[in-house]
Chains A and B, each alone.
Chain A
Amino acid sequence: MRWYLKLLPILFILLIWQIASVLINNAFILPQPLSVAAVLSNPTADILGSGSIFDNAILSIWRVILGFGLAVLCAVPFGIIIGRYRLIEELVNPVIQLFRPIPPLAWVPLALAWFKIGLASIVFIIFIGSFFPVLINTIDGVRRVNRTWIETAAIYGAKGWKLLAYVILPASAPIIWTGLRVGFGVAWMCVVAAEMLPGTTSGIGYLIMYSYNWGQVQVIVAGMIVIGVIGIGVDVVFRAVEKRKFQWQEMNR
């Protein structure tokens, strides 16, 4: 399909939005597209003394990098160990299954009790949210490494870290990467939600909540668009790397 055809649905939504906003004629319920565009066109302008969209978005990204990075640092090594050793997997699997279905936001009260309001509790929520997708994909990826690949490596005397670095990791990398992509998506949702908690004073989630209190609906919508665009942008990067680096996986069978 030609790329510009894909723009049609978006133009259609803009059109409906424009018509609806004119009909409703109440900026506190639905602002006009142009007023949102005005906010977006000036992303570094301060908004009611709580910083600019740009600054707050950077802050949110920074929080996600912290929480997500920590989750990856823990989940990948842990997942490799679980995926490699059957016994450990059987041992910890019930615990994973128990914790996995708890939504990250259900951890909020506990996070506040432990870390108080602030960076630590937000990072903790993000950590919890992205830990499980990364962990589960890592376990799955490591466990699904073709047995012949491992035995071939054994034939040539590879064991320990060499087996890990030259066979296990590259072989499971595509599935682990998918885990990172999903995990980042969850992390991004978590940061926005966590920043809406009372007591937070910065971040893109805070900004749209704050704008609600001041009746600045056009800022809310602009913030939502920024959240969406950043989410898509990161996903595109993940997919591009996947396509370049892990092409062999699709071609292999």
Chain B
Amino acid sequence: MTVTISRVGKVFASRQGEPLIVLDDLSLTIEKSELVCILGPSGCGKTTLLRMIAGLDHTTSGVIDVDGVAVTGPDPRIAMIFQEYSLYPWRTVRANVEFGLQMRGIPPEERREIVDRNIRLVGLEDFAMSYPYELSGGMRQRVAVARALATDPAVLLMDEPFGALDAQTRNRMQKELLRIWEKTKKTIIFITHSVDEAVFLADRIVVLSPRPGRVDVIYDVNILRPRDRTSVEFAKLRRDVLELIDRLEERQ
């Protein structure tokens, strides 16, 4: 499904009276099955944008729609994966993956098959009856991914999902994500602080300008997958994007 963000603005009322303009007149279209990474200096409103797409926050102005239908609140077509602490610690892996289906009122017999399939998809068959505290950070995020995929959303929003992981786990999770994405062909909007991660994952990289956030530059990443981090073209794009972000940070 296509996600269309048209002229979206977000203003927070601040305590000091001066309203805080976080996003201003931001427009962006994300195509079906596309993997878009959103980058930007801290405080540019990346997370706010994602939360508005998820229906957790309202836009102050402008419209976000998915296939022509406006998003007005949490939407079954959209799932979101948070950075951490989103699993329910009193539920087993299975029960966590089952959560969305349960909330949507899917009957238990039907749930079982869907849950099994998604646990297998993220490779956690052996941990189905474990509790989140028994898992490593990377495994926990796999559970979060499986839980999101179980409800079969068209759009997957990911807010720095690998931000709390160590470098090695992070790289492995990126490869995992690409594998799952190629298999499921979901539209993915992925927020990250890491330029390297964005260049590795994205079809397109959207760089937001500092507050008030708008689209500054969009890079088309035409590097063939699997991408080689040591290749010249990878290094060049990474350097270009890094330089841009440095410049944006200075402007702030």
Q: Which residues of A contact B90 (CB under 8 A)?
A: 170-171, 173, 246, 248
A252: contacting residue among B55, B86, B103, B133, CB under 8 A: B133
Q: Is the CB of B100 within 8 A of A148?
A: no
User: In whole angstroms, what is the CA distance A251 to B132 when docked?
Assistant: 9
Report Cα–Cα, A124/B238, bound state, in Å: 71
CA distance A146 to B103 in the complex (A): 18
For the complex, give the distance between the alpha carbons of A251 and B10 in Å. Answer: 39
Determine if B89 is an interface residue (Cβ-Cβ < 8 Å).
yes
A151 within 8 A of B: yes
- On chain B, the residues within 8 Å of A155 by CB distance are 54, 56, 74, 78-80, 100
Q: Mark B101-125, 1 if CB is under 8 A from A, else 0.
A: 0111000000000000000000000
Find chain B residues with CB under 8 A from A152 CB. Answer: 80, 82, 86, 99
CB–CB A248/B89 < 8 A: yes
Cross-chain contact B133 with A157 (CB below 8 angstroms): no
- A116 in the interface (beta carbon within 8 A): no
The answer to whether B99 and A156 touch across the interface, beta carbons within 8 angstroms, is yes
Answer yes or no: B43 CB below 8 A from chain A CBs: no
Decide: A157 near B82, CB < 8 A? Known: A251-B131, A252-B133. Answer: no
Q: Which of A154, A162, A249, A251 contacts B56 (CB 8 A)?
A: A154
With A157-B74, A248-B90, A251-B133 known as contacts, the answer to whether A162 contacts B82 (CB < 8 A) is no
User: Which residues of B sit under 8 angstroms from A167, Cβ to Cβ?
Assistant: 88
Q: Are the C-beta atoms of B56 and A149 separated by less than 8 Å?
A: no
In the assembled complex, the Cα of A167 lies from the Cα of B103 at a distance in Å of 11
Chain B residues with Cβ below 8 Å from A156 are: 74, 79, 99-100, 103-104, 151
**A115 at the B interface (CB under 8 A):** no
Q: In this assembly, does B85 line the interface, its C-beta being within 8 Å of a C-beta of chain A?
A: yes
Q: Are A170 and B88 in contact (CB under 8 A)?
A: yes
Residue in B closest to A154 when the chains form the complex, CB atoms: B74
B104 to chain A: closest CB distance in Å?
6
The CA-CA distance from A156 to B79 in the complex, in Å, is: 7
Interface of B is mostly: loop
Establish whether residues B131 and A248, one from each chain, have CB atoms under 8 Å apart when the complex forms. Answer: yes
Residue of A nearest to B79 (CB): A155
- From 135 to 192 in chain A, residues with beta carbon under 8 angstroms from any chain B beta carbon are 146, 148-149, 151-158, 162, 166-167, 170-171, 173
The interface bits of chain B over 136-152 (1 if a CB of A lies within 8 angstroms of the residue's CB, else 0) are 00000000000000010
Q: Which residue of B lies closest to A249 (CB)?
A: B89
Contacts of A151 in B (CB 8 A): 56, 80, 82
Q: How far is the CB of A149 from chain B (nearest CB, A)?
A: 6
> Which of B79, B80, B88 is most buried by chain A, counting CB atoms within 10 A of its CB?
B88
Minimum CB distance partner of B104 in chain A: A157
How far, in Å, is A136 (CB) from chain B's closest CB?
Answer: 22
Which of chain B's residues have a CB closer than 8 A to the CB of A154? 55-56, 74
Tell me if B89 and A162 are in contact (CB < 8 A): no
Q: Mark A81-110, 1 if CB is under 8 A from B, else 0.
A: 000000000000000000000000000000
- In the bound assembly, the distance between CA atoms of A244 and B74 in angstroms comes to 35
A252 lies within 8 A of B54 (CB)? no
Cβ-defined partner of A148 (8 Å) among B86, B104, B132, B133:
B86
Question: Do residues B56 and A158 form an inter-chain contact, with CB atoms below 8 A?
Answer: no
B73's nearest neighbour on chain A, judged by CB, is: A154
Binding site for B on A (CB under 8 A): 146, 148-149, 151-158, 162, 166-167, 170-171, 173, 246, 248-249, 251-252
List the 7 closest pairs (A to B, CB-CB), nearest first: A251-B133, A156-B100, A248-B89, A158-B103, A156-B103, A252-B89, A152-B86
Residues of B that sit less than 8 Å from A by CB: 54-56, 74, 76, 78-80, 82, 84-86, 88-90, 99-100, 102-104, 131-134, 151
A-B contact pairs, 8 of them (CB 8 A): A149-B85, A151-B82, A153-B103, A155-B79, A156-B151, A157-B103, A166-B99, A252-B132
- 19 extra interface residue pairs, beta carbon distance < 8 Å, beyond A153-B103, A156-B104: A148-B84, A149-B85, A151-B80, A152-B82, A152-B86, A152-B99, A155-B80, A156-B151, A157-B100, A157-B103, A157-B104, A158-B103, A166-B99, A166-B102, A170-B90, A171-B88, A248-B131, A252-B132, A252-B133
